[in-house]
Structure 1
Amino acid sequence: MRRKSLQVAAVALLGTVFAVLLGLWAAERVCVAPDVIVPGVTVGGMAFEGLTAAEALARLRDYEARLLLRPVRLECAGRAWALPLARAGVGVEHAKVISEALSVGHRGWLLHRYLERYRVAREGKEIPIRVHVDRQKLTSLIAELTQELTILPQNAGFRVLPDDRIIVIPAREGRCVDAPAAYDQMVAILNDPGREPVIRVALRTLSPEYTTEEVLAMGLNCLLGEYATTFAPEKVNRVYNISVAAGALDGLVVRPGEVVSFNKVVGPRSSEAGYKTAPMIINNEFVDALGGGVCQVSTTLYNAVLRAGLAVVERHNHSLPVGYVPAGLDATVTYGGADFKFRNNTDKYLYLRTAIQGNRLVVKIFGNNRFKRRVEVRSWVTEVIEPKRIEQSDPNLEVGKRVVKQKGIRGCRARAERLIYDGEQVVREELPPSFYHPLDEIVAVGTKAVPTVIAPREGVTKPKPEPEPQPETTVEEAYPQGTGFPEGELPSGVESPGETVYESGR
């Protein structure tokens, strides 16, 4: 029994010694530096053993240069084109291939690495060359080569004719080469040298984004309401600001139920947005500021909205009466402050058009003829507020002289209403009331003494003559008759404008 145990131990010891000797022999045979590819590794059929990362990269780049010279043909609809692989975004994935080659025999615990090197040295290890294709570049190249076969789709749309009729422009399908289908074929050809280097694709249909049925469903078929105001064309900056703000509204499409904010659509009145300096009402007086004149656009839109029978959500009057609409029918706006908002209270779309025609700003609102109504808009003055007369001493004026520095303007309170006729029914809507501050008249009174020179006469004392009263003068060149302000914004007085009647549609 003792002898048998000794024999088993001896055999185990001999096996261990043999394994150690074998491992040391294998390690010595296949031992390489960690930055060198071990023997037996091939890449794409090319021997890479003993190469460093830099040497492997150079060999792969040489292979890539030869690969890009391969002729590949694209065929579609009986036509054929050569595909330059360099422009198609074809390339070898150098980093991935080199990393995989270097990892052989250099990863895992020590004995595992030695055993892997021994096995690879005996059996070999093939690493495929991975070729990538830039899908976007390939698609762009194919679109460029096959441009003659491409027909772009046409979206359905609508056009407003000079007589305010609306016509629908039908949609049209397009076509193009099915470039996405070429990608998989290209990858297969590059990774299989024995495959026929031909990519065959078909034409595919391109659908329009907006169909004819979708545009017809918008329901745009008539003019619901319009309004126009006039301006002084010689006020260049002000007219420019009006055109910029009106341009932001032109072409606006409003969904059913949507609330439109003038400030949100038009945006900030800044120099970056293209606005210039012109007079506007700030703190009950006219001052030069960026965007002067924009309120005429919001006012014109407000009146068009009223006559289109739409719902007004927010409206504010100016602090002073303006001259381009009757009292009670203006709508002031300030970016970040007072806004004008209206809601599309129809179940169809609305479409806005704005235009500068000579010295007129025109706003038109188009919609569906089911909502076309006869509309009357009335406004009237309920109270006239007289301005105060303020006299200010002016040491630069001679005694007895008086100059009107600011012409007084009446303020007022005004009311307005809208009547919407639906057959025999009449809906009367009271519009928001308006209060306009008066503008005080300011008169400069001279206090400057005028010296009197008297020739001396012996024995005679002559009293100084009293200064004769001078007539009051006005600065007519600054404030023309009938306006009260240079911009023509304010009337010389406030009179009841009476009644305005408008029938929507044509």
Structure 2
Amino acid sequence: MKRFFKGAICLFAVFLVFSSTKMQVRAEEESRILTGVYVEDMSLGGKTKQEARSMVEDYVDSICGMMITLVAVDGNEVQITPADLGVYWSNEEIIEEAAGIGLSGNVVQRYKAAKDLQFQNKVFELEFGVDESLVRQILTEQCSVYNLEAVDATLLREGDHFVVNGGQTGQVVDEDASVQLICDFFNHNWNRDDASLDLVVKVDEVRGTEEELAKVKDVLGTFTTSYSTSGPSRSANVRNGCELINGTTLYPGDEFSTYEAVSPFSEANGYFMAGSYLNGQVVDSLGGGICQVSTTLYNAVLLSELEVTERHNHSMIVTYVDPSADAAIAESSGKDFKFINNTEAPIYIEGITTDDKHITFTIYGMESRDSGHQVRYESEVVSKTYPDSEVIYTNASLPIGSVSVQSAHIGYKANLWKVVTENGTEVSREMINSSSYKVTPRTATIGVGTADPAAYEEIMAAIATNNIDHVRNVATALAAAAAPPAEGTPVEGAPASAEGAPAEGAPAPAPAPVEGAPIEEPAQ
């Protein structure tokens, strides 16, 4: 009997060894996942790791094309897919775990693992991650367009008093809470089908109460400049820019951008072509003159002692304020004038223009400075550089006699100092900014277009002297000689047209701009 049991044990051991060897060979040579192993409702039995991974990836790709509806403010819907939200399979390691069942441990453990699957399946659940940056981008770009922003209460100055315009509460998507909602949904609640999610919406509260806005009654600062030498187009631009800023209410901590307030520089927004600075030259651009608006506001802000966060000087000196007291805005170079309401109460910006061409900005708020506190600003010219030459350009497309002159500009380096006095005694002197302005020579563009070789030689000889005034005199004489006589008016030599007008069909000479007129940095 003992010999029988010994034989049976030996036979069983041989069987286990044989079975173990067979399972090991199958695991190593075929690497097939055991029957009874699932990922959710997908059977991985009989598949290699790569086959199982590919099957699950295909499934994930398919469900990432499902339709997810995000319900924003006022029931507005945005339809996207999980792929749009950057949903991805986050626990890919389950394939390794599935493939390892029955292949680890000793012979008995591996055998037991395989037998257990005959009675109960091993099911792995998919887990998902979400790209929060993509979620936030969709909320910002697609869902927030339906936000009903609160309308803050504002002020309107009528005569010598203020009228309060009440605001209106709004509703907006709470982006932080909605990002968390979407992530939690895909991590825990998604049934792998189409779904609809109500985004988290919060009330956007109105700023400004009657009590708060009643604090706005004191003049914090006011400043005026003149544009009396400006032509109709530039004058219209100054008035338009002033009107676009007038009536602005800023709450504590608000930042004001002059560029945002007065742009775009287009005819539809009330602008005309007028002189501007560009690369050391005066050119016509839509909105020319707008920098006088920003400069006037800049000085009112300085006197109000609000916090200036961005300011740029012009490329060349301007005439309506002292050096370093200007503030240019230019779309092409990204220049802006910005400031923050750093007081404890709202402020109101009043902008007015007058029939005698003056622009004034006055900033109202709650005065918290002592009555003996005074502030003034002093411009310090550090150096001047004078132009030492003249520049003449020729233009064959313009007729002889056409002369366009741009005045020279002195180069400056200047500082602006803030001087504070208390009860008449100076207590501080602080440099606010330092500015450099280009020196530019006097320039002229001379028309040289003519069919008369002699006239051409004469104008070119004059240009060779590099003397603008001499060239202008020669050009005037040549234009007069080339002009046809008025009908019935014989003139010795080359007759001029009636009242100096060009003959019918002849090109008119380009008008020369007024030298020294205040012209601005380009608005765009």
- With normalisation by structure 1, the TM-score equals 0.47
- With normalisation by structure 2, the TM-score equals 0.45
| Structure exhibiting the larger radius of gyration computed from Cα positions | 1
